[in-house]
A and B are shown apart, each in its own frame.
Chain A
């Protein structure tokens, strides 16, 4: 156990009480000695665990999960869980900074990393959710929603005092929360806006839609204020936003180092770790700690580049991948490296930043939330992907679609068509479940990726 925690950035200086808390949580999550061994092996195999900055990031993620699971025992009186809810990381950090009686978390992200990526034990959680209304099979329910329903039905997390989601990101999440409310009587809140931007309103965010989103977020905060009794001032939100901006800047800087590297400095199996880090609802102190970890990592990556080291062979075909890296399973990303394909970018992280800004923190949040890839229709998303391909000088596109999410599924073939037509580079379309390790088919994926790699090499050769 201590060895595993050391790999995850915990030091001998950690108080015994902290280690006891982790042990307690691991026990509650059913983590056995055998799982600890598996965890160590997976950390060594799938992650650049020698990087001290990465270890510190893992430490923060584990601590977030432990704090969430023990929140009630720690005396937190109100628990607020966000799910598929843009802005909840910022709002949650503000709630937690304001009061130590409240705990707010986008609880599934840290859970995915620890239970899924490190221990490889997410499947029983998915299966538990499937016993109820999120059945397996042709309907292809999103496994992300299973990772919210499963832990609650299994009693892994304490029942929250409020669950909040957005009704516009996807109605699968809002419907899941609707059923959770009906079955378990958990209070639910929905943030809403109209996802009806006209084609003429692109590429920038729509002021009209932003106004609605801001109003809706404000009402959620008012609701939180009514149940907690404290007030969230705009100044606090601005302060949290500024602190988070430093973290975002550090991650952007790190991605720039990786994008321009050859050999690829760090595999895309780490991408969901950065995503998780951005979604943590730590207090301001915690966000600063995360920023320090990423800055340390940037320096380590530069040193690694100077040594000429990388996770993929030098000169490997460069690829833009569609959709985030596997959230609960690093094997596909690892396989890409093994086959010799360098994923240098992911469309979800390549969104155009909003050029519009506002002094109103709610409006600022709302403006930003419209620009992410998931929120865009094909005529917004496809040009973004084409531009990213050009900018990254990729040799191909891995057009994997998360089958549980109809929003991304529906674009997959249009992306293929547009990339082939406009850029003339190979596209590999692949159905896959971003949150479900059972969708990983090693031999089939390996065969297809090898062919894809050959196609890219041949295509590049023909062009030159």
Chain B
């Protein structure tokens, strides 16, 4: 990170800068740090309730780790997965270096192989969390709940702390509140004025994966209050856009930056990894582990790696387009993400039936394509503007 302010909120910005040293201090006091891969399939509540610090490993965008990984994996592994492998090899990222154990949800092949390579290299310890790729009925929820039980056992063994119902209930409440606040902030963008830019909202999400959740929630309350009260209504007539894609990593801000610079206004993100899934909360029932399984697996819109997900995500995206008055979609996929690339065709077809144009951008973390991106984004925004007018 450079010395410029990373995020618009000074308290959060300071917190993020101090967080690595805080984590080091916590480790010295015996607290365990548990990293996890993004995608919103790992219940942070469970890690938190075990007394460990959950950290979502969401750094990307910097070409160096992704290139470093090329000595371990060929180029067709996606840049984000390669960045994870590269960070592990470089040992330069204080957040990644802090983790005592990593929870790797078995989502796409790229992240599965990343987890396996980490395991093969021997450190840190990896817990692979199987995710059913298809949910027909309660069987998968039960199976997933069993895997969460196994994760709970693992966390208890790692931390030496028992995950009690009381601790888990508190953790569920805390993370529900965080999701609720992010949702409220996001929903402010449904109106025709933009109270928060997409860049700021994405960064808010990224910080939430590293920050202390109690502090984060407190600051989110504050931010929400300020945004609600502030008179930020403007006559922003920039075309309202939806940003879709598999992953937007911390540091991979080229696309939202170029869109903003070209006069576009991203008002909602439909991103699998990098933006916290905030649309649903965990409904805590009598069996908390089952509640987590249900909340994380079935009460949400499935990611693209899930087997029958394209239709469900199209339905969700169509609703977002309507609710957020979107005029165009920017589809940003990482190079070599074959699942998203397959879906791109389907979404283009279906959205064109609704007269919603879609621009597909495909890139790794290099800089060679910036010029081409700029031109294509500018042309797309011009086209959307003309259609709106």
Contacts and interface: CB of A to CB of B under 8 A. Distances in A.
A16 to B, nearest CB: 45
B109 A407 contact: yes
Contact of A172 (B127, B128, B134, B338): B338
A196 B345 contact: no
B113 A192 contact: no
A138 interface: yes
Nearest to A176: B342
Contacts of A323: none
A182 B346 contact: yes
Nearest to A376: B116
Contacts of A403: 74, 76
Interface string B339-380: 101111110010000000000001000000000000000000
A370 to B, nearest CB: 13
Contacts of B309: 178
Q: How large is the interface on B (under 10, 10 to 19, 20 to 34, 35 or more residues)?
A: 35 or more
A140 B109 CA distance: 14
Interface in B101-129: 106, 108-110, 112-114, 116-117, 119-120, 127-129
Contacts of B117: 378, 410, 414
B77 A133 contact: no
A140 B336 contact: yes
A379 B109 contact: no
Given A170-B109, A192-B134, A212-B143, A133 B76 contact: no
Contacts of B345: 132-133, 135, 179
Nearest to A170: B109
Contacts of B106: 194-196
B7 interface: no
A328 B333 CA distance: 30
B109 A377 contact: no
A141 B362 CA distance: 14
Nearest to A166: B133
B160 interface: no
A409 B136 CA distance: 31
B120 A192 contact: no
B342 A140 contact: no
Given A406-B113, A413-B74, A140 B346 contact: no
A431 interface: yes
Given A379-B116, A410-B116, A133 B346 contact: yes
B249 to A, nearest CB: 19
B307 A171 contact: yes
B308 A379 contact: no
A215 B139 contact: yes
A182 B129 CA distance: 29
Nearest to A192: B134
B145 to A, nearest CB: 12
B50 to A, nearest CB: 18
Interface in A146-199: 167-168, 170-172, 174-179, 181-183, 188, 190, 192-199
Interface string B284-305: 0000000000000000000011
A448 interface: no
B120 A179 contact: no
Interface string B14-57: 00000000000000000000000000000000000000000000
Nearest to A197: B128
B131 interface: yes
A213 to B, nearest CB: 11
B308 A178 contact: yes
Nearest to B154: A198
B263 interface: no
A134 interface: yes
A378 B117 CA distance: 7
A142 interface: yes
B252 interface: no
Nearest to A132: B345
Given A215-B139, A407-B113, A413 B72 contact: yes
Contact of A139 (B129, B305, B311, B336): B336
A401 interface: yes
Contacts of A142: 338
A409 B338 contact: no
Contacts of B308: 178, 181, 188, 190
A220 to B, nearest CB: 10
B335 interface: yes
A378 B116 contact: yes
A379 B113 CA distance: 11
B338 A141 contact: yes
Given A139-B341, A192-B140, A379 B147 contact: no
A170 B305 CA distance: 10
A179 B130 contact: no
A141 B341 contact: yes
B128 A412 contact: no
B139 to A, nearest CB: 7
18 contacts: A139-B338, A171-B133, A172-B109, A174-B307, A178-B307, A178-B308, A179-B310, A179-B345, A183-B346, A196-B128, A197-B128, A198-B128, A215-B139, A379-B116, A406-B77, A407-B113, A410-B73, A410-B117
Q: Which 10 A-B pairs have the closest CB atoms?
A: A194-B130, A133-B345, A167-B133, A410-B113, A196-B130, A196-B128, A377-B116, A406-B109, A190-B134, A174-B307
Given A167-B132, A179-B342, A377-B120, 7 more contacts: A172-B109, A179-B310, A197-B128, A379-B116, A404-B338, A409-B76, A410-B110
